[in-house]
């Protein structure tokens, strides 16, 4: 990380504060607001009508790095962010137009995410060595096997980050230590991009902290999931990603376990509600407590990942 990228990140933080404020007014005006699913209505009723789609700032602000970087890494990371964010934006737009919590179907989401990951693979393929690392352990994969892993990482990351975005301030809070780790284990473009996104997220959290006056929506969660997947590829840390992004992984597993157990037992549940953050809500945890404790867990596992990477 050089001094220029640090200065740009500080400038972007201030710009993001003003842009988020403008977005709140604009999204309210066009009625792009939150509509809650019936199954969580008892927990989230007060969130209906809150502007949704604030993740647009995640798509715009990285362009401030263009004066410093216009290389392949920037293009790859920005497209990872932008294309996955646009899939989320379509979902947010459909929700607002239909005025109910029904956007893109799961099949359409996965189809679009698959197409995007294939396009990104084609873009980066000539620069890949098809190695995956876990500390000092390195494994050279056949190209087809690495391609499958590449696609799965993008699909899983985008959807896992989307599932995590269900409590005010949660996804933004856990994304900061994740991005910080990538800033520490990388240099050049990846480190600068991570630092800039931390600045944007901190500004966004000013309005997204409980009770939120702006939601990132699928635009933001999809963008962050795609970006983190791209950073794991550029830093050869694909195998570390489940440790670094431990909360999105656990949130996703809670949904799979809940659905599997519900079907297996014909109606019984392991969790009071899934994803996991809703389970803790029903136990009486405040949103701020969930944010803070999930942030602590993420930070702890990020330190573990950092130590493994150092070894």
For the chain, the structural domain boundaries read: 3-240
Mean pLDDT of 162-169: 93
Give the tokens for residue 90: 């379509």
pLDDT of residue 310: 74
Helix (H) or strand (E) holding 133: strand 131-134
For the cut 80, the answer to whether the pLDDT of residue 1 exceeds it is: no
Cis peptide before 211 (omega within 30 of 0): yes
Using CA atoms, how far apart are residues 183 and 180, in angstroms rounded to an integer?
5
pLDDT of residue 31: 85
Cis peptide before 275 (omega within 30 of 0): yes
Helix (H) or strand (E) holding 235: none
Nearest to 243 by CA among 289, 196, 177, 192: 177
- Other Cβ atoms closer than 10 A to 164: 27
Average pLDDT of the chain is: 90
Helix boundaries (H) for 170-216: 170-184, 188-208
Using CA atoms, how far apart are residues 210 and 243, in angstroms rounded to an integer?
27
User: Whole-model pTM?
Assistant: 0.93
């Amino acid at each position: 990380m050089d001094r220029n990228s640090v200065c740009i990140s500080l400038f972007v933080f201030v710009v993001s504060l003003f842009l988020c404020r403008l977005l709140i007014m604009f999204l309210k005006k066009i009625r792009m607001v939150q509509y809650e699913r019936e199954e969580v209505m008892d927990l989230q009723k007060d969130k209906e009508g809150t502007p949704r789609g604030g993740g647009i700032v995640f798509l715009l602000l990285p362009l401030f790095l263009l004066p410093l970087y216009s290389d392949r890494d920037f293009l790859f990371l920005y497209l990872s962010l932008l294309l996955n964010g646009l899939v989320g934006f379509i979902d947010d737009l459909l929700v607002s137009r239909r005025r109910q919590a029904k956007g893109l179907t799961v099949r359409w989401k996965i189809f679009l995410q698959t197409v995007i990951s294939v396009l990104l693979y084609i873009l980066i393929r000539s620069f890949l060595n098809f190695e995956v690392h876990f500390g000092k352990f390195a494994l050279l994969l056949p190209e087809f096997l690495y391609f499958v892993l590449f696609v799965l990482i993008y699909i899983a990351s985008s959807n896992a980050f989307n599932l995590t975005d269900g409590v005010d301030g949660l996804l933004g809070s856990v994304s900061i230590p994740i991005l910080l780790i990538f800033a520490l284990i990388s240099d050049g473009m990846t480190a600068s991009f991570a630092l800039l996104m931390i600045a944007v997220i901190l500004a966004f959290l000013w309005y997204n902290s409980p009770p939120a006056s702006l939601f990132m929506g699928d635009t933001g969660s999809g963008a962050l999931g795609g970006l983190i997947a791209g950073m794991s590829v550029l830093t050869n840390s694909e195998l570390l990603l489940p440790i670094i992004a431990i909360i999105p992984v656990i949130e996703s597993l809670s949904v799979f376990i809940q659905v599997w157990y519900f079907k297996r037992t014909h109606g019984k549940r392991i969790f009071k509600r899934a994803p996991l953050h809703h389970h803790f809500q029903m136990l009486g945890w405040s949103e701020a407590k969930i944010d803070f404790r999930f942030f602590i867990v993420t930070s702890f596992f990020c330190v573990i990942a950092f130590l493994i990477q150092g070894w």
